[in-house]
Amino acid sequence: MPKTRQSILKVILVNLFILALMALALAFFGEIALRSFIPSADHSGMVRLTSTPITYEMIPNLDIVREGVQIRTNSEGFRDNDFTGEPKPGQFVIAVLGDSFTFGQGVPQTETFPAVLQKLLNEADNTDRFRVWNLGVSGYNTEQEAYQLEHFVLDRKPNWVVVGYNINDIEPIGVDPSLVKKEEKSEQSIWGRIIRYIQYDLLITQFVKQRIGNLIRLFDPHWYASAYVQDTVNQYLAPDGPWHNQVSMLLKKMNAECESKGIGFTVALLPAMLDFQNYPFKRANDSILAFCKKNHIDCIDILAYFKNKKFMNFWVSSMDPHPNAEAQEIFAKALADHFWNEALTH
């Protein structure tokens, strides 16, 4: 009898070992497959440190490929054609500030929403008088955008300023990850680095986590694995949080600065590409909208334009939830409608 139990245990252990090897092999080949079809997220060589409060900025006159798309910057370090001084007579210039959503991470230059907005406005007007500047820089928050407005935009006298507001713009200024020194990364213990690599660098880990999350949300639409969502919402709702104490005041100041110079100002709430029907940041959105309404700041919530749409259809890739070209076009159409129906008629 003991021998039989030992034989059964041995068979179980052997099968478990085989299953483990199969799982490792599947993960290994899955990782290779994902890396073959998904562009690298390497953004090195795009930004440089600066001594100003914005911490870092785009490098001027770039011509490189990142995430499978061409990145070209002008002589002032923005993903656009050169800005030629003050607007020409009759020209209507819209300067768009923002982060990676505005910059157009993973999207061709001509398909970013500022570029599409320029095209739509000119087509609707049957002219070429509209010029939309893309001043988006990946990772920027409202504080950095406020600095850009004061030290770069206002002197160039555009007719309008749009802030492409992302829900994570409430986060403090940080250094672009591509600028972090190797020695700083190596300060972690060996196990810490291994765990971090598995969690954040392996594509197969991200792929599996996302699919498990999607499966769970079929039964519980409000479920999200990370506390990040709730923590972010709380920062908007807390009376002593960063939204009420700092970020909202920056938007109010930016609006006042533009108003004092006769420049229009609009806050465009760009939704995260997450469940649009059960949008996890809706309470934060509502807080932003209420503030703008109370302080007479022109604001458009673009989430409404994604109603009844499947959020994953708008990802740059299955690993990158940044808005793809189709989402960028929806952003542009929403803003074009807003300008014709609201902003330009008041």
Type of residue found at 246 = Q
Residue with the bigger pLDDT between 2 and 256: it is 256
Q: Where are the domains of the chain?
A: 1-37, 85-176+224-345
CA 156/CA 76 separation, integer angstroms: 13
**Which residues touch 112 (CB under 8 Å, ≥6 apart)?**
79, 102, 103, 104, 134, 136, 328
Cα distances from 342 to residues 124, 265, 337, 345, in angstroms, run 15, 12, 8, 6
Q: What predicted TM-score, i.e. pTM, was given to this entire model?
A: 0.82
Residue 229 in tokens:
């969502």
What angle is formed at CA 204 by the lines to CA 228 and CA 325, rounded to 5 degrees?
A: 70
Whose CA is closest to 335, among 142, 112, 170? 112
H/E stretch holding 133: strand 130-134
Q: What's the rounded mean pLDDT across residues 26-30?
A: 70
- The secondary structure element, H or E, covering residue 237 is helix 228-237
Confidence grade of residue 329 (pLDDT, cut at 50, 70, 90): very high
> Mind listing the pLDDT tens digit for each residue in 177-208?
666 654 455 556 777 667 766 665 666 666 66
Task: Domain 85-176+224-345: give its CATH code.
Answer: 3.40.50.1110
Kind and range of the H or E run holding 7: helix 2-37
Nearest residue to 45 (alpha-carbon basis) of 19, 66, 68, 16: 66
* pLDDT at residue number 68: 85
pLDDT of 182 reads: 46
